[in-house]
Amino acid sequence: MYAHMDIKLNTDIEYKKLSALQGVLFEHIREDYRDELHSQKLHPYSQYLYRTASGDTIWRINTLNEEAYNAIIEPLNMDSFCAFHLAHGDMDVEVVSKSVEQIKRNELIKRFNEEACGKYIRIQFITPTAFKQNKRYRCMPDMRLIYQSLMMRYSEFSPKLDMFDEETLEQLSENSLITGYKLKTMSFPMEGMRITGFVGNITIRNFGSEIMSRYIRLLAEFGEYSGIGIKTGMGMGAIRIIKEKSGDA
């Protein structure tokens, strides 16, 4: 089960305070599960801030399995969670409203099996996105790193379906091309340092089979919950699929 929780806030909060929001999230997780999260390399949740067309500030929290949903979203969905304090910036924030959406993992598989898919897909990187390769941070969209990140997370939290396969990763990377983009670099403050990432839109074209296009769509749909790249639990790497026909970014 995958889930989105949207928490509407009464004040504007900069994305630079996302790591502080992770601290708020951890305050409401039971201690044993918090310790478990600290020991994991890949986390079963992601979180970020976004603004609606009407200017509302939304804190979105995603979970990737039922255990994370029960331990993270359920406590925050209680009536008692109606306000919090951000030490960074000394801000008191009120919760205006909450909403939760769930989707079964099988629904994405059903779409993969039953719904046709075009050659193009457009993705928006909402918060700074970066990768770590050979002990160095990379702040450019790289198809292999994007697919690798999604495949590893999908396999980690879908134990009945191991999606990480080197041959498939090679095929996806070799048959995918970024045909359009509108990107800029943006720094993300974290623990006394700054990581440079990228935000904006890219258009990906698949030159392989339709099955491969469906596979890419499945990974991207999962990525709307998992995020891409490093530090997704702190607010980096948030994405959404742009629901448009094929074309350039």
CB atoms within 10 A of CB 99: 11
pLDDT reading at 249 higher than 80: no
More confident residue, 99 or 15: 99
CB 228 within 8 A of CB 239: yes
**Cα 245 from chain centroid (whole Å):** 23
pTM, entire model: 0.91
pLDDT reading at 6 higher than 50: yes
Q: What is the pLDDT of residue 113?
A: 92
More confident residue, 156 or 102: 102
Distances (CA, A) of 48 to 4, 34, 163: 11, 19, 26
**Quick one: what percent of the chain has pLDDT higher than 90?**
74
Mean pLDDT computed over 1-24: 90
> What's the per-residue H, E or C state across 16-44?
HHHHHHHHHHHHCCCHHHHHHHHHCCCCC
Rounded (10°) CA dihedral 176, 181, 186, 189: -30
φ, ψ of residue 21 to 5 degrees: the values are: -65, -35
pLDDT reading at 101 higher than 70: yes
pLDDT reading at 245 higher than 60: no
pLDDT reading at 89 higher than 90: no
Q: What is the pLDDT of residue 42?
A: 86
Q: What is the pLDDT of residue 16?
A: 79
The tens digit of pLDDT for each residue in 36-57 reads: 888 888 899 999 999 999 999 9
Which one, of 200, 52, 176, 196, lies nearest residue 124 by Cα? 200
Domains defined for the chain, CATH in brackets? 2-103 (3.30.70.1890), 105-242 (3.30.70.1900)
**DSSP state, residue 48:** E
**Cα 71 from chain centroid (whole Å):** 18
In this structure, of 16-20, 93-97, 108-112, 202-206, the range with the lowest mean pLDDT score is 16-20
pLDDT reading at 243 higher than 70: yes
CA atoms in the 13 A half-sphere facing the CB of 4: 19
CB 16 within 8 A of CB 189: yes
Mean pLDDT computed over 168-191: 93
Spell out where 134-219 has E strands: 136-138, 176-190, 193-206
Mean pLDDT computed over 109-118: 92
Q: How far apart, in whole angstroms, are the C-alpha atoms of residue 3 and residue 46?
A: 10
Q: How confident is the model at residue 148 (pLDDT cuts 50, 70, 90)?
A: very high
Q: How far apart, in whole angstroms, are the C-alpha atoms of residue 127 and residue 188?
A: 9
Q: What is the pLDDT of residue 162?
A: 62
Mean pLDDT rounded to a whole number for the chain: 91
pLDDT reading at 223 higher than 80: yes
